[in-house]
Structure 1
């Protein structure tokens, strides 16, 4: 009897099965919220009632030393800052021999930002003039997606259950989205509802990206040589 060749150990799922129902529901609700606000503010060039209730978003609303904090946070969503952040995380994944995780970090953040880039001209909301499309916030989507991806990877590595894992992922997304959202509004770069739209976009896109990468990778392993 011939012995079957040994197979490589299966990489841990990016989206653990126990987290798929709650994060799937969260992604659906987030997509709905992002779509509703996109429709409500389509073609607008000024703050809405919700925005005005929170803060006057078209003028800088923070001074030193908090302005420096806002600028530092904003830098993380700029191309150079985002590349440095993702590059460092990818390097750690490769050192730990987690290529699937490295792909997820790049794809998850890239698709979240890409989704906001596609939505902006469709919604057509502007700030500080007709050339500055604002909804949804790409900076907020990026940092939220990055934090969500890191939290998902930590959940899988620590073997957390549904309650603890979901709590960690959503808490990380909330903290990152709130931090970047505050910076964007404080610097007058976005309306508060732009920030909410960017946050919801990341919540909708990132778990789906993890699931698709898992499906693709696992299907590839099942293919006969």
Structure 2
């Protein structure tokens, strides 16, 4: 699941992203107001996004809700199975699941809130999920024969950025998260997905019949 030409680069990205998640979490731990960086990008006193962009934001937000997320994952798994890539199907479930689990565990540890004490906001689970799923698809495409290192890295970066920006914009526009929350969710996916890919690969090589030459 980790294309060999990208392993070192993705490893470095994962480490830096994990550090970013920790640093931002420490900076905003226990806060209930937007920070200085948040105010650079959004006015917390402004009205929410209005139609027609509000409908776009709501549609994007739905992709991170349980029903929307499940639909995307099922579609990804179905595609992998149709292509006879069972390991990729496992990866399509494990990576987004691991990203969501990571942010779910981090939220009570950081304790940052928005719109009241009960609304834990850091990191953004919606952003982590969509970024993770985009990374899964991009890594599978980057691992195809003929895709070089530069093209593969560009594809992975573009997919992660597009998903992160789209969902991050929706979350901030709808007032569900601060900009630094969505940055934390994006970085969480960048940290978790490569690690999950490595674990899936390790598990596959240790399972009889799933090593080199087995269907991926």
C-alpha distance in 1, partners of 2:61/2:26? Answer: 27
C-alpha distance in 2, partners of 1:117/1:176? Answer: 19
Q: Does 1:203 find its partner at 2:170? A: no
For the Cα contact (< 8 Å) 1:31–1:204, is it kept in 2? Answer: yes
Change (3 A) 1:30 1:57: farther
For the Cα contact (< 8 Å) 1:58–1:128, is it kept in 2? Answer: no
Q: How many residues align?
A: 210
Q: Which runs of 5+ in 1 are unaligned?
A: 1-13
The 5 Å alignment of 1:5-84 reads 14-57=1-44, 60-84=47-71
Deviations 1:75-114 (A, max 9, x none): 0000000000110110111111111000001000000000
Q: Structure 1 residue runs of 4+, over 6 Å off?
A: none
CA shift for structure 1 position 61: 3.0
The 5 Å alignment of 1:161-200 reads 161-200=148-187
With normalisation by structure 1, the TM-score equals 0.91
C-alpha distance in 2, partners of 1:95/1:67? Answer: 36
Q: Counterpart of 1:190 in 2: which secondary structure?
A: coil
Structure 1 stretch 53-62 or stretch 143-152: which is displaced more?
A: 53-62
Deviations 1:142-168 (A, max 9, x none): 000000000000111243121111110
Q: Which runs of 5+ in 2 are unaligned?
A: 211-216
Among 97, 106, 117, the residue aligned to 1:110: 97
Structure 1 stretch 130-139 or stretch 57-66: which is displaced more?
A: 57-66
Among 70, 74, 82, the residue aligned to 1:95: 82
With normalisation by structure 2, the TM-score equals 0.94
For the Cα contact (< 8 Å) 1:60–1:186, is it kept in 2? Answer: no
C-alpha distance in 2, partners of 1:88/1:63? Answer: 31
RMSD, aligned α-carbons? 1.3
Q: Counterpart of 1:74 in 2: which secondary structure?
A: helix
Partner of 2:111: 124
C-alpha distance in 2, partners of 1:199/1:189? Answer: 15
Among 120, 123, 137, the residue aligned to 2:124: 137
Q: Counterpart of 1:50 in 2: which secondary structure?
A: helix
Partner of 1:4: none
CA shift for structure 1 position 58: 6.6
CA shift for structure 1 position 222: 7.4
